[in-house]
Amino acid sequence: MDVIKNYINGSFVESTSTRTADVMNPATGEVQAQVKLSSKAELDDAVAKAAEAQKAWGATNPQRRARVMMKFGALINENMDKLAELVSREHGKTLPDAKGDVQRGLEVVEVCMGAPNMLKGEFTDNGGPGIDLYSMRQPLGVVAGITPFNFPAMIPLWKMAPALACGNAMILKPSERVPSTALLLAELLKEAGLPDGVLQVVNGDKEVVDAILDNDTIAAVGFVGSTPIAQYIYGRAANNGKRAQCFGGAKNHMIIMPDADLDKAADALVGAGYGAAGERCMAISVAVPVGKETADALIEKLVPRVEKLKVGPYTAGDDVDYGPVITAQSKARIEGLINSGVDQGANLVIDGRGFELQGYENGFFCGPSLFDNVTPDMDIYKEEIFGPVLSQVRADSYEDALNLVIDNDYGNGTAIYTADGDTARDFAHRVNVGMVGINFPIPVPLSYHTFGGWKKSAFGDLNQYGPDAFRFYTKTKTVTARWFSGIKDGGEFNFKAMD
C-alpha cells in the first residue's frame, strides 16, 4: 500500500513516525493509501529548515517572487486534470467540482502575480524640515497553514500563494484525509522556481497542529475548519504571540421574498445546498421563504429538482451531481441529524437516509434530504450539517427572516432573492454576515477582494486572500529619515557633515 510522505527541502521524505492514518476512497469505502502522522520533532526540524531557506527568499525582490507565481499559475493550468483527479479520488467530489476547487485557488495565485504592487509602502515628502517618512512591508518569516479536507486544492492555495509572494516560508499541514493534492502543488512550485525549503508540507494530526502553535519560530497561523477547532487554534496561537486567522463553521441562510423569481431561486438552492454533497462552508443549508404562499410554492418547485439529483462516484463523469461524503462517520452524523429533525417535529419531505448505490454499497453516499417547517429550536437548524440536507424555515415577514440571520451564531455567508432593489440594499446594509449575495446563492468574493465571515465563523482581524492576505503575511516598518545638508552657506561642500 502507498505510504504518503512529507515534502521537506524540495524532496519527498518518509516520516519516522509509527502512527498512521488511512486515506480512504469515499466512493468505495476502501483504504487507498496511508499517511504517516509526523511528530513534533519532525515539525520542528521542518521549521528550522524553512527559517534558513526564508532568509534568501525574503531578500528576493517582489518582482522575482511574482515571476515564480506566474510560472506556478501556468503549471497549475497545465496540470488541471491531474490535480482534479487527485482531489476527486481522495475527497469524492465530482470532476467538474474538483476543477472548480483548483480554479478558485488558481485565481488567488493570479492575484499574487501582482505582489509588487500589493507590497508597496507609503511615502511622505518633507513631513518636517528636511524629514521624510516612508513605510515598507516586510515578510514575517515562517508562517503556517492548516487546511481542511473539503477543498484539497483551493484552501492550500489561498494560504500558500500570498504567504510565499510576500517573502515568507510556509509550513503547510493539509488534512490527513486528503494529503496528495498539496504534495503535487509543492512539486509544481519547485518546478516554477521556488527555492527548496521555502514550502514544507508536513502531514499529521493534532500533535503537529499543537507543535505548530507552540513553535517559537512560526510567526502566524492560518486555519480553516470547524468552529470549536478554530477557537482552540486562535486562542493557543494568540497566547503564544502569533498572528492568527481562523475560519470556522457556518449556517448560511437564503431569504426568498414574495417577488423573487422562484424558478431561479429553486435552481440556486439546489446547487448551493447539495453541490459537493453539502461539504462547503458557503453551502446554503437554510431556505427562508417569506409568507405562506411563497413557502408553499417554493417547496413545490424544490421537490422535483431535488428528486432528480444524481448521486455517484466521480468516475461516472458529468452524469453525477454530487459524490459521497468524506467518511463513514460523517455519513452517520448527517443521518443522525436527519433523525433528530424528524423526532423534533420537522416535515421530512425527501428522505435521503439509507441511500445505497449498486456496486458501491460500502461507499459513504448520502441521498439528498429536504425538510420543511423547520424551527430555530431544532438541532437540524442549530448545527452545521455539512451534508446534502436543505431545511426550509418559514417566515411571516421580511423582518422575521432578517432577524433569523442576525440572531444566528454564525455569520459566514447569506443571500437574498428579490426583485426589489430597496429590500436588497436594506438587507446588505443591516445583516451581520461577512459575505452577502443578492440574487446570487454562494457569494464567495472574487480573489482580488477578500473572503471572511463574522461572529463564530471567523476569529482574527484579517480575512483570506485579496488585500487582507498581504496585510496578514507582512509587518509594516515605518522609517523617519533626515539627511543633514553638506553644503555651506558659501557653496563649499562640507565633507565633514557627511561623516
Domains 3-248+457-480 and 252-438 share a fold: no
Architecture of domain 3-248+457-480: 3-Layer(aba) Sandwich (3.40)
Please write the tens of the pLDDT for every residue from 195-223: 999 999 999 999 999 999 999 999 999 99
Whole-structure pTM value: 0.94
CATH number, domain 252-438: 3.40.309.10
Which pLDDT does position 499 carry in this prediction?
43
Residues classed as catalytic: 281
Sorted by where each begins, the domain ranges of the chain are: 3-248+457-480, 252-438
Residues of the chain with pLDDT under 70: 486-499
Q: Are the C-beta atoms of residues 327 and 364 closer than 8 Å to each other? A: yes
The tens digit of pLDDT for each residue in 88-108 reads 999 999 999 999 999 999 999
pLDDT at 159: 98
For residue 497, the model assigns a pLDDT of 44
Residue 484's pLDDT is 84
